[in-house]
Chains A and B, each alone.
Chain A
Amino acid sequence: MSIETISLSGRKKEVSNKKMTFMESLYLVAIFKGLMITIKHLFTRKVTIKYPEQTRELSPVYRGQHMLMRDDQGRERCTACGLCALSCPAEAITMKAEERKPEEKHLYREEKYASIYEINMLRCIFCGLCEEACPKEAIYLTKSRVMVKSATNREDFIYGKDKLVMPLEMAIKNTPTNAAN
């Protein structure tokens, strides 16, 4: 077998440039075949998703809005180690660490916490590397469909702790009742 005739994919097709016969030059047969193909599509299932009423199923690896987690006693898990900021390829995360005071024991889990934790949502690419880097399981990308709300100035896209930290009720709701106090 010569090299020209081998077809590894099995789809190789010899192209011929022969002159069309009279019947072919009328295009009738070809057009009829085409019509049969298109009419088939009239009865196939439509692929459209009627958006506001129906929504597409999210992929299992979907990553939405970030959330700074609390533990089961409602304390912030973040210890401001800065690994998320280090791993962030878009350099969207900044934070400032502070030492926990004795009376703040019920607020923060570790001795050190992030007093400022900001994510610039204009920079963030939702890659999820911060989630992977975090040793304390403090930052997660949620399944929230709302990623970033629109705004008119850039400052509004820098999300601070007020928007990122998990709501307290949510932490308590996930906890067995006896562990709450």
Chain B
Amino acid sequence: MNEAIIIEKSVIIIAVFALTMLMAMYSTLAERKIAAWLQDRIGPNRAGKGGIFQPLADGLKLFAKEEFVPNTENKFLFFVGPAVSMSAALMTSAVIPWGDKLHLFGRDIILQATDIDVAILYVFGVLSVGVYGIMIGGWASNNKFSLMSAMRAASQMISYEVAMGLSIIALIMMTGTLSLREIAAGQEGMNWNVFYQPVGFLIFLVCSFAETNRTPFDLAECEAELIGGYHTEYSSMKMGFYLFAEYASMFISSTILAVLYFGAYNYPGMNWMEENVGVNIANVIGMLALFAKLCFFIFFYMWVRWTVPRFRYDQLMRLGWKVLIPLSIANIIITGVIILLTE
């Protein structure tokens, strides 16, 4: 039985890893296509039909680029930076429940790499490690603009993590669990948390934009003032790793948004499907539902990117500390009062 678990878990891990990579790859194409469409252009359409091989071509190009290392004291850190970014982005996917369970070979297979009971804390922990990648890379670049960008990224992450954590507290108070699996299971049918926690969702959404360094919070890679920020000195595939990590973390945070607030793999009529059609089919549809939800959020990230211009640094800090944090504290209090009243 132990071997079966090892095989089962490794299959899930490899599948999730492959999915994350594939999604990150095609997010780059999606980004370029959506950017083009929103600007009334067509976008890349030369590599394959509709530009389907564009990510491969981009990857090939990055591999063929000169590997440049600046004259820095911290050559080791320079190499570690992108690796930390990348692994932090990939590690988060370990606790995400991709579906309820499949019934195969006479066993119930739980569609999650690992079901730890403090999954939310784990997600927050790993997401915060992501800033180390930027910080280390910016520091080791031996370039003042890179360092400035790294400082910005770090302070931005710290400010928005507070609001993010506080917005999650209201959700945890409501669901009474830290496990993503139980949170997902608790949103059966259309009982999605977003209907009970709209303000919390909004705060979480804004903060995840900040956490993934996406526009309007991409001050860390501000081209106009910081010539690209922390990846100024990076070239070739190390640069590719940073960009890739950004897309991977975008994918992961879209997934977390979908799991926490948009009912994870739940869709209306899932129970009926499980009883009448079978557990497997019901859950495959569930996985597709989750996939559709997270694709929507990835699209939303891109949509916002071409709508909202970049914040000024003081605006960013004011929004974080003076608007979002008070709002999320108020949200906690109101949630607490409602929980007390309804009990």
B196 within 8 A of A: no
* B308 with A41: CB separation less than 8 A: no
Chain B residues, CB < 8 A from A179: none
User: Which B residues are within 8 Å of any A CB, using their own CB?
Assistant: 34, 37-42, 45, 202, 303-304, 306-308, 319, 323, 327
B38 touching A41 by the CB < 8 A rule?
Answer: yes
**Which A residues are CB-close (under 8 A) to B42?**
46, 48, 50
Per DSSP, chain A at the interface is helix
Q: Using a CB–CB distance below 8 Å, which chain A residues touch chain B?
A: 25-28, 31, 34-35, 37-39, 41-42, 44-48, 50
Q: Which residues of A contact B303 (CB under 8 A)?
A: 35, 38-39
- The smallest C-beta distance from B110 to any residue of chain A, in angstroms, reads 37
Residues of B within 8 A of A37 (CB): 307
A32 to chain B, nearest CB (A): 10
Known: A37-B307, A38-B306, A39-B303. A28 touches B202 (CB 8 A): yes
In the complex, how many angstroms separate the beta carbon of A28 from the nearest chain B beta carbon? 7
Verify A47–B41 contact, CB threshold 8 A. yes
- Residues in B neighbouring A41, C-beta threshold 8 A: 37-40
Bound-state Cα–Cα, A25 to B39, Å: 27
Query: How many angstroms between the C-alpha atoms of A147 and B40 in the bound complex?
Result: 30
Nearest A-chain residue to B41, judged by Cβ: A48
Minimum CB–CB distance from B304 to chain A (whole Å) comes to: 7
Residue picked from A27, A47, A50, most chain B C-beta under 10 Å: A27
Give Cα A45–Cα B304 distance, bound, in whole angstroms. 21
Question: Which chain B positions have C-beta within 8 A of A45?
Answer: 40
| CB proximity of B60 to chain A, nearest CB, Å | 23
7 other A-B residue contacts (CB within 8 Å) besides A26-B327, A35-B304, A48-B41: A28-B202, A35-B303, A38-B303, A39-B38, A45-B40, A46-B42, A48-B42
CA distance A168 to B170 in the complex (A): 88
Q: A47–B37 Cα gap in the complex (Å)?
A: 10
Q: Tell me, in angstroms, the Cα distance from A34 to B307 when the chains sit together.
A: 6
Known: A28-B202, A50-B42. A35 touches B307 (CB 8 A): yes
Cross-chain contact of B38 among A31, A42, A48, A50 (Cβ < 8 A)? A42
